[in-house]
């Protein structure tokens, strides 16, 4: 009897451990961030996901039959997800050469089985560093404005441009040259909120993360931007909140402040993401024409918002508010391609036109849009009718210009001499040809309905 019971007990134990053994799940292994290439020493992040934790992890480099373990962690972890950070490249495996290598990850489960999961990635090896040489010209830059520098790139590079503090702009091949050309230029902003003491850096980097930088001759002219106070009332709050946050909760002023901060920030990100939706050629011709009307606010005005005598918010207005008459026709500042014609948060009904090489113009608060995405428009062609949609308390147009997704002061682009001296003269006769021959097929536009101008408020 005892032997029988013992046999049953042993059988149960065996069944239990077999079930545990067979039901064990393999660890999931993935790169926590993409690795475009390996260089001399490239940082790699690997995430291992195992319900029982991880008993051990290792990374191996392999190329042309040679293998080298470059990282190992044998500390047991009971956490379900573990991220391992290490460097991989020629410094860790001396036999590496340019070409393709295998990066192999092995993870051992912290369970009864201790099963090992192996994942392999084929990754390019890039050992040649990039090079960048900036032109020897003198670059005079207005704080909040724009500038152009010519760059000659070499070595192995995948990205290049100019960085001003935390802002950066890419490069384009010189007009008339193929996109693959190493002879390039960067049209870049010097944003309003960057100290004029900041030194712009030209940079070039490759897929392995190796980056080189260089300076170039610059003189930055500091600018003093305006400040203004806006007194809010319930009627204006209700107008904005009812349009932009109809299903929200909380007081009118709390909802307004949330829109003024969070929606404004989200819209800036939306606009920034359109920077690459640009033609690699000049679509514009001659100076940009400002929207007609009185300038009711200026670029980079610092606005303080007051409600019932108390300051409730502060924001910077990046553009010009322009007004002449109610429902006035709004015309394109220059020729280009419509890349946005729809609602855009605080800008209400909004049109964005690409003028090529990441230069774009924005027209906000329209009551009506008369163009569509993809339309090619000519300078001074009507694109809409002014209004008070979005965060506007009266009929006007918000006009902005952007470079590489960042808003810059438009007034430079209204100056034909500045355009020639700072832009066209640098990128050669082919640029003049592009600019002089930038033709566009006009789109149908609506006849404007014009009423007498009235007092307005803006936000």
Domain ranges of the chain: 25-125, 130-221, 227-436
How far, in whole angstroms, is CA 39 from its chain's centroid?
Answer: 26
pLDDT tens by residue, the chain, 459 residues: 555 545 545 555 544 444 444 445 678 999 999 999 999 999 999 999 998 889 999 999 999 999 999 999 988 888 888 999 999 999 999 999 999 999 999 999 988 777 899 999 999 999 999 999 999 999 999 999 999 999 999 999 999 999 999 999 999 999 999 999 999 999 999 999 999 999 999 999 999 989 999 999 999 999 999 999 999 999 999 999 999 999 999 999 999 999 999 999 999 999 999 999 999 999 999 999 988 777 778 899 999 999 999 999 999 999 999 987 899 999 999 999 999 999 999 999 999 999 999 999 999 999 999 999 999 999 999 999 999 999 999 999 999 999 999 999 999 999 999 999 999 999 977 765 666 554 444 433 333 333 333 334 444
Check for a shared fold between 25-125 and 130-221: yes
Given the DSSP bridges, would you call strands 218-221 and 139-142 parallel, antiparallel or unpaired? parallel
Q: What would the CATH number be for the domain defined by 130-221?
A: 2.60.40.10
Six-digit token pair at 105?
Answer: 């990850």
Kindly indicate whether the domain formed by 227-436 is annotated with CATH number 3.40.718.10.
no
CATH value of 25-125 in 2.60.40.10, 3.60.21.10, 3.30.499.10, 3.40.50.300: 2.60.40.10
Q: CA–CA separation, 114 vs 295, rounded Å? A: 72
What lies within 8 Å, CB to CB, of 435 at 6+ separation is 282, 284, 285, 286, 424
By the 8 A CB rule, do 426 and 365 touch?
Answer: no
Instruction: Report DSSP state, residue 410.
Output: G
By the 8 A CB rule, do 421 and 142 touch?
Answer: no
């Amino acid at each position: 009897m005892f032997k029988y019971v013992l046999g049953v007990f042993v059988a149960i134990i065996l069944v239990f451990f077999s079930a545990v053994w067979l039901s064990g799940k393999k660890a999931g292994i993935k790169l926590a961030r993409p690795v475009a290439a390996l260089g001399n020493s490239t940082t790699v992040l690997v995430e291992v996901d195992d319900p029982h934790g991880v008993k051990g992890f290792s990374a191996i480099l392999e190329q042309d039959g040679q293998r080298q373990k470059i990282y190992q962690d044998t500390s047991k972890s009971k956490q379900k997800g573990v991220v391992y950070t290490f460097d991989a490249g020629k410094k860790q495996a001396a036999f590496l050469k340019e070409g393709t290598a295998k990066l192999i990850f092995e993870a051992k489960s912290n369970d009864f089985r201790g099963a090992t999961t192996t994942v392999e990635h084929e990754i390019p090896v890039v050992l040649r560093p990039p090079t960048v040489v900036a032109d020897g010209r003198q670059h005079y830059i207005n704080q909040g404005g724009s500038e152009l520098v010519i760059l000659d790139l070499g070595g192995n590079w995948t990205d290049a441009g100019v960085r001003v503090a935390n802002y950066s702009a890419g490069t384009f091949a010189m007009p008339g040259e193929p996109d693959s050309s190493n002879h390039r230029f960067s049209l870049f902003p010097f944003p309003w909120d960057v100290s004029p003491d900041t030194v712009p850096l030209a940079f070039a980097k490759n897929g392995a993360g190796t980056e080189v930088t260089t300076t170039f001759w610059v003189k930055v002219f500091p600018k003093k931007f305006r400040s203004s106070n806006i007194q809010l009332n319930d009627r204006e709050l209700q107008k904005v909140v009812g349009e932009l946050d109809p299903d929200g909760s909380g007081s009118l002023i709390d909802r307004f402040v949330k829109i003024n901060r969070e929606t404004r920030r989200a819209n800036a990100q939306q606009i920034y993401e359109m920077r690459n939706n640009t033609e690699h050629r000049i679509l514009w011709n001659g100076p940009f024409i400002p929207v007609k009307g009185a300038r009711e606010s200026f670029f980079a005005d610092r606005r303080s918002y007051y409600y019932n005598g108390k300051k409730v918010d502060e924001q910077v207005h990046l553009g010009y508010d322009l007004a002449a008459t109610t429902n006035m026709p709004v015309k394109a500042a220059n020729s280009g391609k419509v890349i946005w014609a729809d609602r855009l948060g605080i800008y209400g009904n909004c049109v964005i036109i690409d003028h090529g090489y990441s230069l774009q113009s924005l027209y906000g608060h329209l009551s009506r849009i008369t163009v569509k995405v993809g339309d090619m428009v000519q300078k001074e062609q009507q694109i809409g009718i002014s209004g008070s949609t979005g965060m506007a308390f009266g009929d006007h147009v918000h006009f902005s210009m952007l470079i590489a997704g960042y808003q810059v002061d438009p007034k430079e682009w209204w100056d034909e001499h500045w355009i020639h001296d700072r832009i066209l003269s640098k990128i050669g006769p082919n640029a003049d040809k592009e600019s002089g021959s930038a033709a566009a097929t006009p789109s149908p536009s609506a006849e404007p309905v014009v009423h007498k101008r009235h007092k307005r408020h803006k936000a």
